[in-house]
Structure formats: structure tokens, C-alpha cells
A and B are shown apart, each in its own frame.
Chain A
Amino acid sequence: MDINLDHVAKLAKLRLTPAEKETFSRQLPSIVEYVAKLQEVDTSTVDAKAYLTDATNVFRADEPTTAQSERDAAVAAFPKSAGDALQVPGVFNH
């Protein structure tokens, strides 16, 4: 199994060290080979289902319920803020 580590690392938003690359180049193919055992199972008569519960479309009223204290704590947990404004790096280059 050929795995393009640079491509996968880009998808995963990870910057791998040379040592990590070396480790994963050995380990990931053997894990993938192990999970590929599933190809042995005949699944022609079953559906692929992401969830096995009977619940569908569970809705609740769109009403704000968060307490002010929770709101303040969420702002406090944000790594960078100025007063009530949350700061993030710019998305576009100037």
C-alpha cells in the first residue's frame, strides 16, 4: 500500500518531523493492510449506515439558553480577545 504522507499530512493539517515521517511510513501501511481485511466480508446485501440508532431528525427549539456566565467563560477561554471581540489571524492576505 502506497501512502502519500505529504498529501495526507496536508489534509490533516499536520507538519510532520522527519522522525515522525519515518515512523508513519513504516506503521501506516501495516495498519491499512490490517484494516483491509474487511474486503473479505461480503456486504452485497447490507446497507452502509453511519448510525445504527432509530432516531432521525431530532429537533429542538432554536432558543438561546446559554447562561451569561457560560458565555463569559467561553470568551475567557478564547486564546485572544479584546473586550468582547474575539481575535483571529486574518484569513486573506492584504
Chain B
Amino acid sequence: MSEFLTVKAIRDAVAAGTVTAEEIVKNALAKIDLEDPKIGAFLEVFPERALAKAREIDAMKARGDVLPRLAGVPVAIKDNMLLMGEKASAGSKILQDYTAAYTATVVARLEEAGAIIIGRTNMDEFAMGSSTETSAFQKTHNPWDLERIPGGSSGGSAAAVAAGFVAASLGTDTGGSIRQPAAMCGIVGLKPTYGRVSRYGIVALASSLDQVGPFTHTVEDAMLIMEVIEGRDAHDATSADITDKPVAELLAPTMKGLRVGVPKEYFLDGMDPEVRARVEEAIAVFKDNGAEIINISLPLAPYALPTYYIIQPAEASSNLARFDGMRYGTRAPGALEDSYLTARSEGFGLEVKRRIMLGAFILSAGYYDAFYKKSLAVRNALRQEFDEAYKQVDVIIGPTAPGTAWKLGEKSDDPIAMYLADVFTTSANITGLPGISIPCGFANGLPVGLQIQAKPFDEMKLYTAAAAYQAVTDWHNQLPQA
């Protein structure tokens, strides 16, 4: 059944009746059973639930009902997404016994569309990390090289797609947590425009930055997932009404006439020269296929990462205040204050404590203006700079990350080295703009990602450009042998 590697192939085959949803799910479960012990993508699979849902789809088909858009397509969700009745731990010990009391809007929409939630995937604790190593539960290995990290924080969701366990999964991206692992695992990862996708039922990291998005092998598949999950949700006041939803069937991939901005700030001296070479080759592909390459400058882009490391810990320290053992997780013994301190100090890992401390410091009396308020001004200035750039270009392209997947443990003791893995991705979160990472070749045998960014709510440009690149290249069809 190796031909069922894409959402579209599965969907079409189930609709045509050449395969049943139950066969698709059984096959996925068997593959996970056999191969995931060496990858570690899943924290838990939901075999009974998945098979029951698959049989429902097959019964609909047998009755001759019109099947919904994603009928029979297995999808993995990140461990910070709620599915009522199932555990959701956000990779943290403090939530290891939490059972979701309701279902996240994105997950509910997937199920309504006939997709089958097959399990929850490993992640950095509370999505704080770039390698999935801060998970309280297990390490995830990169399917291209088992000694290496899959990227993070949505590393389990990325590895599950790269390893061929599922055709699609969901991740969250607060500073690059979808795009960076997509790049390191050689697949497609989309961070939508802020407001495009509801976060209701997602464990919040930094509320002004978080977005949910898909991992897939193809751009078309990313569109198929987005069509289902995007749009206004009354439960998330920041979610936007989308009047003009892109439709996969109407996609007309082309690079002709596309104005492609290449910022000089996206090519750092310290970056992996092989990564740089792959990205330059990808830019040449755009040029050869009729795109206009425009060299631009975004002088504030180098400040995106330090801005991010103020806003994100500040918001995280506030968001994570709710985890005190009173309403969820494990209640620690003792009087109130003692109970709080014990639950939090024993429940959170080192990286989470580091960021909560950093956030509490940044927001504390005497430092608020110098750090937090300053970062909000730089954020606004950076957005204005991007708005200005998009007057002369349609998309901006560059590397997704400055290097390829590193060895497990290599950067664990150096937080700033770890944070630098997000140097090219945080600007999209800071400014709210959409970005996609697509595979553009290999550096020393490891996948390299090309990042394409566009104006707010102009995902159609991203799809058009990225699908056009996939139409003339073969990188997305290459699979790991590990």
C-alpha cells in the first residue's frame, strides 16, 4: 500500500472504493507498530477509536452516501491538541495524566471531514524547544538519520509524516515549530497567517504568536488539510473570517511573472554552506521558470529572534501560570502556596523553567519598559518593514533553518545555540505573516528546507509558488531509507 503516501491518494482511493478506510487505518497502525519503536514519533496511538471511525466511513460508502472531503485519511495530532476523552500532555510531566474534557476546533473539524485521528505525537515540553528533546517522555529520532533530532517543537508530527506513518499531521508553530522540523525531515510544513486557524483547545504557549498548521509531503495536501481546519471559530476571538478560501482544485501552479524577494539578511556568514548552496539552486529554479528575482533588504530581520525571545517567554510565563495542580494535572500536597510550588517545580522541566524565569524577569518591575515594551515596538517596526517589502515582491524566499538536523544531545546545554535554529522562522510569527517550508534538496545526506513567506492571508501565493516548485523538482518524492 506504499502508493498511499498522500492525503489526495488516500482520499480518492477510499472515495472510489478501491480500498477501504479500515484497510488504510490497519496498514498505518501496523507500520507504526513495527517502525515507531525506533523513531519515537508517537506518544500514544488510538487504535480502537481510529478503527471505529474507519468503519463508520466504510459504512457510509456502503450506503452510497457522499463522503466528506477527507474521508478515511489518517492524521496524527501534536500532544498539545485536545481530543475529548484522550490524554493530552503537551509533552509535560505536569499534564501526564490529563484527559481532555473537550475537543479542539481543528481536531473536531478534521473528524467532521472524515479524517481519522490516529494518535498524538511527541513534542518539546509545552512546545519550548527546537529539537523535541525537551519532551518529558521520550526522544524522537529523525527518519533520515536515527542519531539525529527531527527538529522541533513539533518533531513527532514531522517524523510521523517523513517516516510514512501518516500522510498528514498537525503541528503548532510559535517561532518555527512547524517549518523547522518540516525542513529537517524533508517534508512540507505550513505556518498560516495569524488568525487563519482557531487555537481553541490547543495548549497555549505564546498567544500572540501561536498558529496551527499541517505537515504533508505535497503542497496540494497541505491545502486539503487547510481547507478543512481554517476559518472563523466563535471560540477563538482572534480567528478571522476568511472570505476567499483557497481551493485545491483551483490551484494553478506557476512561477511565471512571480516577483520573488531575496533578502540579503537571510544569508548569514555562519550558516551551513551546503544549505546556502541548495537554497541558491532553488532560487535559480524560480528564475529559470519565469520568476523575477529581486534582491531586497530587511534591515530589522536580524532583530526578529531577540524580539521573539522577549515576547514568547513573557507570554509563556503568563500562560503557564494556570498550571499549578489546582484544576488539571497532579495536585501536590500541602497548604496552597506550598502546593503550587511543589506541583510546578516537580512538574516542569528545565527548559520550561528557564523560559518562565526569563519571562517573569522581563515583565518584572524595572525591566518591563526596557524589554517587553521595547520588543512590541520592534515587532511593529518589523511588520511595517515587511509590509513595505511586499509592495515590490509577491513572496520572500530563503532558507528555513541555517543548518540541517544535528545529533541528539549536541545543543542541549547551550540554549542560545538551540534558539538560533529559529533565526529565519521567528519573523513570520512576530509579524503574523504566513510561511511554508518545502524540501529543496540535501546537504550531506540530510534534508534542506526552502522557506517561502507572503503577505498576511495571501496563502494562495504561497501555494502557487511552492506547488510550482514541486511541479518541476523531485525532492518531495524522496523518502528516508532508515
Residues of chain A having any CB pair with chain B under 8 Å: 3, 5, 7-9, 11-16, 20, 23-24, 27-28, 30-32, 34-41, 43, 46-53, 55, 58, 60, 66, 69-70, 73-74, 76-80, 88-91, 93
Contact = CB atoms under 8 A, between A and B. Distances in A.
A5 B354 CA distance: 11
A60 B234 CA distance: 7
Contacts of B326: 79, 88
B interface bracket (residues with beta carbon within 8 Å of A) = 35 or more
Given A41-B300, A46-B384, A60-B234, A77 B98 contact: yes
Contacts of A48: 373-374, 376-377, 380
Q: Is the interface of B mostly helix, strand, loop or mixed?
A: helix
Contacts of A90: 335-336
A60 B359 CA distance: 31
A89 B336 contact: yes
B136 to A, nearest CB: 16
Given A43-B377, A51-B208, A53-B238, A76 B340 contact: no
A12 B416 contact: no
B345 A16 contact: yes
A20 B354 CA distance: 9
A3 B361 contact: yes
Contacts of A69: 84
A31 B415 contact: yes
B391 interface: no
A15 B347 CA distance: 11
Given A13-B321, A90-B335, A35 B99 contact: no
A90 to B, nearest CB: 7
Contacts of A16: 345, 353
B289 to A, nearest CB: 33
Interface string B208-250: 1000000000000000000000000010011010000000000
Given A14-B348, A31-B415, A46-B377, A89 B335 contact: yes
Contacts of B340: 13
Contacts of B445: none
Given A35-B371, A46-B377, A50-B376, 12 more contacts: A8-B357, A8-B360, A12-B356, A12-B359, A13-B340, A31-B416, A35-B307, A38-B303, A47-B380, A52-B379, A66-B102, A78-B328
A4 B139 CA distance: 33
B101 A74 contact: yes
B332 to A, nearest CB: 9
B381 interface: yes
A89 B334 contact: yes
Contacts of A31: 309, 358, 415-416
A85 B325 CA distance: 17
A79 B381 contact: no
Contacts of A9: 357
Contacts of B37: none
Contact of B381 (A3, A28, A43, A53): A43
Contact of B194 (A24, A43, A52): A52
Contacts of B328: 77-79
A70 B102 contact: yes
Nearest to B353: A14
A77 to B, nearest CB: 5
A21 to B, nearest CB: 10
Nearest to B207: A51
A38 B307 contact: yes
B361 to A, nearest CB: 5
Contacts of B306: 34-38
Nearest to B383: A52
Contact of B101 (A60, A77, A80): A77
